[in-house]
Amino acid sequence: MADRAVFTFITSGSNSRAAQEAIKIHVLHRRQKERAAIGKAKKAPTVKSTHGGEIHIWDCSPIPPERRRSRSPILQQARSTSPDSSQTEEIVRLSSPSSPSSSSLSLNDEFILPAGDTNDDVITIPKLLISSSEDDLIHWYMLEGQGSDVPQKWLQCFKTSAASFNAFLAISSSHFPQERGARSSINSREKEVQALREIGKQIALSPSAPTGGTMLGVALLANLQELRHEYLLSKFHWSGLKRMIDVNGGPRSLRTQEGLFTFLFWLDALVCNASVTPLGQQSAEECLEQSHPAHPHQELSLLLEHITSGYISSRTSFEPPNQINNSISRVLRRSSAMPDEYSMMKATRSKLASLLYFANLKLEVESASHGIGIYQAIEQEVDQLEAEREISPVELFYIILALNNTDALCHLAYSVSRLMNAVKGLNRNDCKLVAGCLSRFTGHPNPFDDSLEMFNDWRVLRERLSTGYDGHIS
C-alpha cells in the first residue's frame, strides 16, 4: 500500500479544509436557488475560501424553467415549511482535518440539534410527516421493476454497506412522492447525511483502497443529486467516484464485482448528465498510445463517419435475422411503464445506449468473430425472459452490460460510456440525427420519430462534432 496514493474524497483545488468547503458549496448553492425562487437572486460566481483559493459556484447543466418548476414535492415542502420547535432538526458539521494541508474527508463530529438555519456551514433537515417504513420503500422499489430480478440483485449490492444502503433509501424517499402523491416519513436528506458520514468513516479506515460499498454509496449520492437536478453536487460526487476507481486500478478493476460494474456503467450511461467525466474515459496517455480520440465528441464523429461511409463491407455476417420483428427490436419499441420524467429519460437513454452498443459490435464483427456470439447470447437471454414477461429497454441495457463483462468485449462498455456522454451533450435535433443513423445501421427501431429524415446531412454533424460541438444540452 505504501506506493499507492491516499484517496481524497473531495478537494477544492486549494489547501482549504475540503470537507467544510464542500458543505459550504452545498448550502450556498441551495440558498442561491432559494433567492432566485422569490425574485431576489444575486449573482455569486465565486466564494473566497478562508484557507486560500476560490470555490466556483455554477450550474453545470442549466435546466429549462419548466423543469425547475416541476421539482419533487418533498423538496418544495422542505423549502417552504418552517418547522416549529417541537420538530426534530439535524445539523451537519464536518470535522476539521488534523492539519491545514490535509484534505481528507472526515465526518466524525457529533450531530447537533439547532434552533434554526443560521450558519453557512450547516444543512437543516426538517422532519417529514407521512408514515412510510424502509420496507415500504423497498417494496415500492421492487414493484417498479415490474417482475424483473434486476432490482433484487442491485438491492443486495446496496445492502453491502451502510453508506450505499442509506444513499439508496435517500433516493427512494426522494422519488417516492413523485409516484405516490405522498411524502415518505423517511427523511431523504437525513439519509443522505448518514450516507456521507458512513462514506467518511470507510475512507478513514481505507483511504488508499476504497471498498466497493464506498464507491457504490458515492455513486448513489450522485444519482440522488441528478434526481434533484443538483448538477454541481452530482459532479462533485462523480469526480470523487472517478478518483476512487483510479486509485483501485481503473475501470477494469470493477469487473471482478459484477453487480458494482453493471450498476456503475448503467448509471453512467442512463442517469448522469453530460458535464461529468464518463467512467470509460481514457487518460491522455492511453489515447496517445492507442491513437484514440481524446474527446467523446470526436469519437462519436468517427463512429458516424464509419457508419455513413460504407465502412462495413457486404461480407459481414452480422445481420440478425428478421430485424423488424426480433425480440430485441420489440423491446426497443417499448416506452417507459412509469410516467415520470426520470423514468422516461432512462428509457430513452437506454435505447440510445443499446443502439450505440450494437453499432460498435457490428463494426467489430469482421475482425472479431466473438461479436456474433455475444449478440446471439443477448437475444437468447431476451427471448427467455420475454417468454415469462415483458422486459423494458432499461433492463435490456442491463443485460447487455452483464453479458458484455468479458476480457474480449469489456472495451465496448467503455466505448458506450464515452459515446453516451457525447450524445447527452447534443441538442435534440442532432440527437435525433444520431439515433436515425444508428437505427438504419443496426436495423433496430429508432427511439425517436422519423420527422427529421429530411435533415440527414451526416457530414455537417460529423464536422461539428470533430471540430468542437457548438450545440447545447437538450
- Choose the weakest-confidence range: 69-73, 94-98, 395-399: 94-98
Helix (H) or strand (E) holding 264: helix 258-270
Alpha-carbon gap, residue 399 to 288, rounded angstroms? 32
Report the C-alpha gap between 460 and 464 in whole angstroms.
6
Indicate the pLDDT class of residue 110, thresholds 50, 70 and 90. Answer: very low
Nearest CA among 339, 334, 363 for reference residue 351 = 334
Most confident of 109-113, 179-183, 238-242: 238-242
Residue 163 has pLDDT above 90, yes or no: yes
User: CA-CA distance, 284 to 49, in Å (whole number)?
Assistant: 31
Q: How far apart are CA 169 and CA 165, in angstroms?
A: 6
Name residues whose C-beta falls within 8 Å of residue 111's C-beta, 6 or more positions apart in sequence.
Answer: 90, 91, 92, 93, 193
Q: pLDDT tens-digit profile of 414-447? A: 999 999 999 998 888 888 888 888 888 888 888 8
Torsion of CA 414, 344, 425, 262, to 10 degrees: -10
Is the predicted pLDDT of residue 319 greater than 70, yes or no? no
Asked if pLDDT for residue 328 goes beyond 50, the answer is: yes
CA distances from 118 to 114, 189, 192, 378, 455 (A): 9, 18, 21, 55, 55
Residue with the bigger pLDDT between 120 and 165: it is 165
pLDDT at position 43 over 60? no
Across 285-294, 369-378, 457-466, the highest mean pLDDT is recorded for 369-378
Q: Identify the weakest region by mean pLDDT among 96-110, 161-175, 224-238, 451-465.
A: 96-110
**Through-space distance between the first and last CA atoms of the chain, rounded to whole angstroms:** 44
Where are the alpha helices (H) located in 38-123, listed in sequence order?
65-69, 73-80
Q: How far apart are CA 113 and CA 109, in angstroms?
A: 13
Q: Which of 326, 280, 308 is nearest to 418 (CA)?
A: 280
**What percent of the residues of the chain are helix, what percent strand, and what percent coil, each to the nearest 5?**
55, 0, 45
Over the chain, what is the mean pLDDT? 70
- Per-residue pLDDT, averaged over 165-169, amounts to 94
Mean pLDDT score, 343-351: 91
Partnered with residue 46 across adjacent β-strands are: 56
Taking the model in full, what pTM does it have? 0.68
Phi/psi for 56 (5° steps) reads -85, 140
Over range 374-391, report the average pLDDT.
91
Cα separation, 173 vs 428, in Å, equals 31
pLDDT interval class at 91 (50, 70, 90): very low
* Range 334-349 average pLDDT: 85
The enclosing H or E element of 321 equals none
**Which DSSP category does 14 fall into?**
S
pLDDT at 317: 43
More confident residue, 165 or 119: 165
Burial class of residue 64 (count of CB atoms within 10 Å of its CB; 0-12, 13-18, 19+):
exposed
pLDDT at residue 472 in the model = 45
Lowest-confidence region among 56-70, 206-220, 286-300 = 56-70
Query: Above 70 in pLDDT, residue 291?
Result: no
